[in-house]
Every structure is written in C-alpha cells, then in structure tokens.
C-alpha cells in the first residue's frame, strides 16, 4: 500500500507540475501577443537607428539604444562588454554595366561583398561565366586570366529547408574571389544568394588568403544574373565596374548584456540572444533585428510575470556576427575568465517568421531533453525538436565550456532568403504576429530550460 501511495503521489505531483507549466507558458504567450513590446521595439531599432555594420556610427548608436531599452525594462543588471571589431566601409555606391559587342550599355543591380577591396577607379574586362565554383576550380588559366569571373550558381530550389540550399552555394561568396584570383581573374561577381528572381542584390562576407592576390568581389541580383547569362551566351560581353569600398583598422565596440539573477545558482548562466550588427543595406530587420528583439522580449515577459529563475538568465546582443564573430568569440573567453559556468545557450538568428521549433547541438542526452519539452509546445503548433545547429554567436561557447548544449530557434525558412543581406530586409517585411509568436516560443523555452537543467 505504501508503494502504491508513493506512486500515486508522484503521478499527482507530476500532473500538477505539468499543469503549472502549461498555465505559465500560456501566460507568456498572452503577454507576447496582447501586451507585447516587440514590434514597436523592432520598428524603433530599424527606423530610428537603421543598418548597423560593425565599426559604423549606426552600430554605436544601436549599442546606446539597446542599453537604454534594457534599462527601461528594469532588469537586475545591464552593462556593456568591450570588444574589438573589423571596420569595413562600402564607400560611394557601386556602379556596374554590361557593355555588349555593339557598345550598348545595360546597368546592373550590384553590391560589393563585405570585406572586398575597391576597384581603384573604373575596372573593365571580358566576362567569363561558370555555373559552379568547382567548374571554376577546374578551369584552365588561359580561360580566366585578365577576365572578370561570373559565378552563376543558383540556390537549389528543390531543398525544402532553404538554409540547406544556402549552405550548398555559400562557397561562391566566401571563396569565389580567392579561386578566381588564383587563375588571374581581374574581379569576381556572383549570383546573389537569394531564392526569388528579383532586383535586390544580396551582400555578405567574403575572404582573402595570404599569397593570393586580392581582387574586387560583388554580387548581382538574381534577375540581373539571369539577364547577364543570356547576354554572355549571345556573344562576348564586357563588364564595367566601379567600387569604392575599403578596410580600416579594427574599431572598439561592445556587446550589450542584460540579466535576471538566478536565485539558487547565480553563477550558472543560461545565455540567449542574437546579433545586433547587420549589413549596411536595408535595416537588418530579419537579420538579426528580429533575433535580438525575440530575446529581449522573452526576458522582459519573464520579469513582467515575476518569474524568479533558478539560474541567471542573460540576454546578449552580440556585435560583429556578420564579418568576424568577435562578439561571440570575446564573450566566450570573457565568461570563462570570470569563472562563470555556462550551462546552456540559445540563439535566434533565422528571421522573424512563424516559429517551428528548436534544434539542439549537443549530446544524445541533451537532445532527449529537448524532445521531452516538445509536448508543451503542441498547442502552439511547434513541431521541430531535434538535433541541429545552434548559432554563430554562441558557437564559441562550445569549445570554451565543455558539454554545454547549444539551442537554435527554428522559424519557418521559406521567405528568409528573400531578404537575407538585401536592401529589402526592412521592418515592413516583418509580420507582427509571427514576430510575437517567436517571442512567446523563446520565452517559454527559456522558462522550461531553467526549470529542467
């Protein structure tokens, strides 16, 4: 009888705990959807500050904006963490034309890739097209030398998860200039890494290698890539290009941090956040304004509901994810040197679209924990709870704190690469309800992590 009574008591307590969690999660969602601050906060970040490239005046204003906003919500601690970041500027707007055999000029929608050198005036050369980076690597030097390489490799539209399609052709942006320069190219232009066929070019980071000449690199819109390919097939075409971009010495910048102190284990930290910086086109609304606002709003709601966490809940607005990840790298080292114990981290950096679930970069046991949380989210139509990617900013914690699980917020991916790194990544292209649902999901997930770790 005593054993039966104990079992019944355990079941009763378990059901009671589940009911408590269910009610609290419902209250988090209610706050996000009816009393939320996220949409207005994102509007202000995008419209009052704008694009926020590391090292820029706008990035510094975003830091000040973020600190003031966190302080206005009355968190236990709000402070800045100093870092050093790369400083690259686009300069005068890029210009480019196709010059056809008959002399006709057609302008192109084009953006320099982040980190590219300029053209030092007008650069002109014959265009040679390759449909895959591997095709360029196999080319003869005589096919490329003295010409401008056009890498016309599209994202794979048959991939259901668009991040997989992006990963499949990212190398043309990251490595295209290096591979072209090895064969004597004058410059490289790539087809933008975007799904739709439109006029918006997509920028993003690229890199150079020592002992390989640096050549200019840029991206044309997908619509212009289609047109350019047709012109090349009609006969020899030349590209006329001018870019004024340049790099400067590293600049001083900051991560922006807010905390609610843990009541039981204050030195055990659950970090969650996104990156405050963005590329210098558009407004960085989805990438990653939505992510930092998701996490700020999650912490605000937990405080508003007077939740007292076991562990310290820390939101970090990381600086410099786009072209160096110095915010993430410096944060991990800084936390370790302070003697902190990072027990879990979450990142939101996949846009402000409708929530679908969470990934876990961790052990089998940690992934099992993620799976056990899935039933809490069934009423909110989240279904992805599986092994996967955490995020760039929190990635350095993996090597600094052995065994830490990294979680990635997973929204719907279908529209993300319509806006990623493009002038169209503006506040107007973020849906209010989808943004708020993301805040509710992340607030609830952090609550459950805190209770179950």
* Residue 402: predicted pLDDT: 95
Q: Which of 400, 403, 366 is nearest to 386 (CA)?
A: 366
The pLDDT value recorded for residue 15 is: 58
Catalytic residue among 58, 94, 268, 321: 321
Mean pLDDT calculated for residue range 281-307: 98
The residue with greater pLDDT, 148 or 5, is 148
Q: For residues 168 and 417, what is the distance between their CA atoms, to the nearest angstrom? A: 13
Quote the percentage of the chain above a pLDDT of 90.
93
pLDDT digits (tens, 9 = 90+) for 30-76: 999 999 999 999 999 999 999 999 999 999 999 999 999 999 999 99
Residue 345 lies in a domain: yes
CA–CA gap between residue 156 and residue 306 (Å, rounded): 47
DSSP assignment of 79-92 equals: EEEEEEEEEEE--S
Kindly state whether residues 218 and 360 are assigned to the same domain.
no
Phi, psi of 13 (to 5 degrees): -65, -40
Average pLDDT in the 440-453 region? 98
Residue tagged 């690229």 (tokens): 206
Mean pLDDT of 87-101: 93
Count Cβ neighbours within 10 Å for each residue of 391-402 and write b for 16 or more, e otherwise: bbbbbbbbebbe
In a domain, 8, yes or no: no
From the list 76, 66, 65, 81, the residue with the least C-alpha distance to 313 is 76
| Sign of the C-alpha dihedral computed for residues 436, 259, 73 and 251 taken in this order | negative
DSSP, collapsed to helix, strand or coil, labels residue 411 as strand
Strand partners, 387: 360
Work out how many domains the chain is built from and give that number: 2
Domain CATH number, residue 274: 3.40.630.10
- Which residue, of 229, 244, 259, is where some domain finishes? 244
Q: Are 306 and 347 found together in one domain?
A: yes
- Domain extent at residue 160: 91-244
In a domain, 212, yes or no: yes
Looking at the fold, whether 81 and 57 belong to one and the same domain comes out as: yes
Per-residue pLDDT at 328: 98
Which of 194, 211, 244 is the C-terminal boundary of a domain? 244
Known catalytic residue at 268: no
Claim to verify: residue 287 and residue 401 sit in the same structural domain: yes
Query: Does residue 14 form part of some domain?
Result: no
Question: Residue 16 domain-assigned?
Answer: no
User: Residue range 231-242: average pLDDT?
Assistant: 91
Please check whether residue 217 is in contact with residue 187, taking contact to mean a CB–CB distance below 8 angstroms. yes
Q: Average of pLDDT values for 306-313? A: 98
Whether 226 and 254 map to the same domain: the answer is: no
Number of H helices, E strands in the chain: 13, 16
Task: Report residue 395 as tokens.
Answer: 């990635």
Select from 213, 244, 275 the last residue of a domain. Answer: 244
- Token couple for 258: 């807010």
| pLDDT tens profile 154-173 | 999 999 999 999 999 999 99
> Do 199 and 309 belong together in one domain?
no
408 and 278: one domain?
Answer: yes
**Is residue 401 one of the residues assigned to a domain?**
yes
Evaluate whether residue 12 is within a structural domain.
no
334-392: pLDDT as tens digits: 999 999 999 999 999 999 999 999 999 999 999 999 999 999 999 999 999 999 999 99
Q: At what angle do helices 432-452 and 290-304 cross, to 10 degrees?
A: 60
Strand partners, 274: 317
Both 127 and 232 in a single domain?
Answer: yes
pLDDT (mean) for 244-255: 97
Residues 6+ apart with CB under 8 A from 156: 164, 165, 168, 169
Higher pLDDT, 148 or 4: 148
Residues 144 and 235 both lie in one domain: yes
At residue 8, the pLDDT reads 46
Taking the CA atoms of residue 345, residue 348, residue 349 and residue 354 in that order, the dihedral angle to the nearest 10 degrees is 150
State the pLDDT at residue 3.
59
Residues 236 and 255 in one domain: no
Strand partners, 89: 246
Q: Is residue 78 part of a domain?
A: yes
Q: 213 and 336 share a domain?
A: no
108 burial level (CB within 10 Å; 0-12, 13-18, 19+): buried
Token code pair at residue 45: 């970040």
CB distance 354 to 434 below 8 Å: yes
Whether 102 and 142 map to the same domain: the answer is yes
pLDDT at 179 over 90: yes
The SS3 of residue 344 is: strand
Phi, psi of 265 (to 5 degrees): -135, 75
Residues whose CB is less than 8 angstroms from the CB of residue 344 and which lie 6 or more positions away in sequence, other chains included: 270, 271, 404, 405, 406, 407, 449, 453
Per-residue 3-state assignment (H helix, E strand, C coil) for 299-330: HHHHHHCCCCCCEEEEEEEECCCCCCCHHHHH
Judge whether 206 and 115 are in contact, CB under 8 Å: yes
8 A C-beta contact, residue 155 and residue 194: yes
76-to-147, 254, 303, 316, 413 alpha-carbon distances in Å: 59, 19, 10, 14, 35
Nearest to 358 by CA among 332, 380, 342, 343: 380
Calpha distance 258→221 (Å, rounded): 39
Start-to-end Cα distance in the chain: 33
Band (pLDDT 50/70/90 cuts) for residue 110 is very high
Q: Say which CATH number the domain at 189 has.
A: 3.50.30.30
180's CB contacts (< 8 A; 6+ apart) are 136, 144, 149, 187, 188, 215
pLDDT for 14 equals 53
Query: Is the confidence at residue 89, as pLDDT, over 70?
Result: yes
């Amino acid at each position: 009888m005593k054993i039966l009574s104990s079992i019944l008591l355990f079941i009763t307590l378990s059901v009671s705990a589940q009911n408590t969690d269910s009610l609290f999660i419902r209250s988090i969602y209610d706050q996000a959807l009816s009393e939320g601050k996220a949409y207005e906060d994102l509007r202000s970040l995008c419209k009052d500050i704008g694009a926020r490239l590391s090292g820029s005046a706008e990035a510094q204003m975003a830091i000040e904006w973020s600190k003031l906003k966190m302080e206005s919500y009355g968190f236990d601690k709000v402070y800045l963490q100093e870092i050093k970041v790369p400083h690259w500027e686009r300069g005068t707007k890029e210009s480019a034309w196709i010059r056809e055999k008959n002399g006709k000029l057609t302008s192109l929608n084009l953006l320099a890739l982040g980190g590219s050198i300029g053209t030092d005036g007008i650069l002109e050369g014959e265009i040679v097209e390759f449909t895959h980076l591997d095709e360029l690597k196999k080319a003869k030097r005589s096919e490329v030398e003295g010409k401008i390489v056009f890498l016309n490799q599209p994202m794979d539209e048959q991939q259901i998860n668009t991040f997989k399609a992006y990963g499949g052709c990212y190398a043309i942006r990251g490595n295209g200039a290096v591979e072209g320069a090895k064969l004597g190219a004058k410059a490289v232009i790539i087809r933008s890494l975007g799904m739709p066929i439109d006029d918006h070019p997509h920028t993003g980071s690229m890199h150079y290698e020592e002992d390989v000449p640096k050549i200019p690199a840029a991206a044309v819109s997908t619509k212009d890539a289609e047109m350019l390919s047709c012109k090349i097939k009609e006969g020899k075409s030349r590209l006329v290009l001018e870019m004024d971009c340049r790099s400067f010495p590293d600049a001083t910048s900051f991560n922006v941090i807010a905390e609610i102190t843990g009541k039981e284990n204050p030195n055990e930290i659950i970090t969650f956040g996104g990156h405050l910086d963005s590329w210098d086109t558009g407004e960085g609304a989805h990438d990653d304004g939505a992510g930092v606002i998701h996490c700020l709003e999650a912490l605000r709601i937990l405080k508003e509901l007077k939740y007292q966490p076991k562990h310290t809940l820390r939101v970090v607005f990381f600086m410099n994810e786009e072209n160096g990840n110095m915010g993430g790298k410096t944060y991990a080292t800084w936390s370790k040197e302070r003697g902190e114990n990072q027990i879990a981290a979450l990142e939101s950096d996949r846009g402000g679209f409708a929530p679908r679930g969470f990934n876990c970069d961790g052990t089998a046991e940690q992934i099992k924990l993620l799976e056990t949380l899935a039933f809490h989210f069934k009423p909110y139509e989240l279904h992805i709870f599986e092994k996967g990617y955490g995020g760039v900013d929190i990635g350095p914690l993996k090597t600094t704190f052995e065994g830490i699980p990294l979680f990635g917020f997973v929204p719907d991916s279908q529209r993300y690469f319509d806006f990623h790194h493009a002038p169209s990544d503006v506040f107007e292209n973020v849906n209010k309800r989808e943004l708020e649902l993301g805040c509710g999901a992340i607030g609830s997930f952090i609550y459950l992590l805190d209770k179950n770790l």
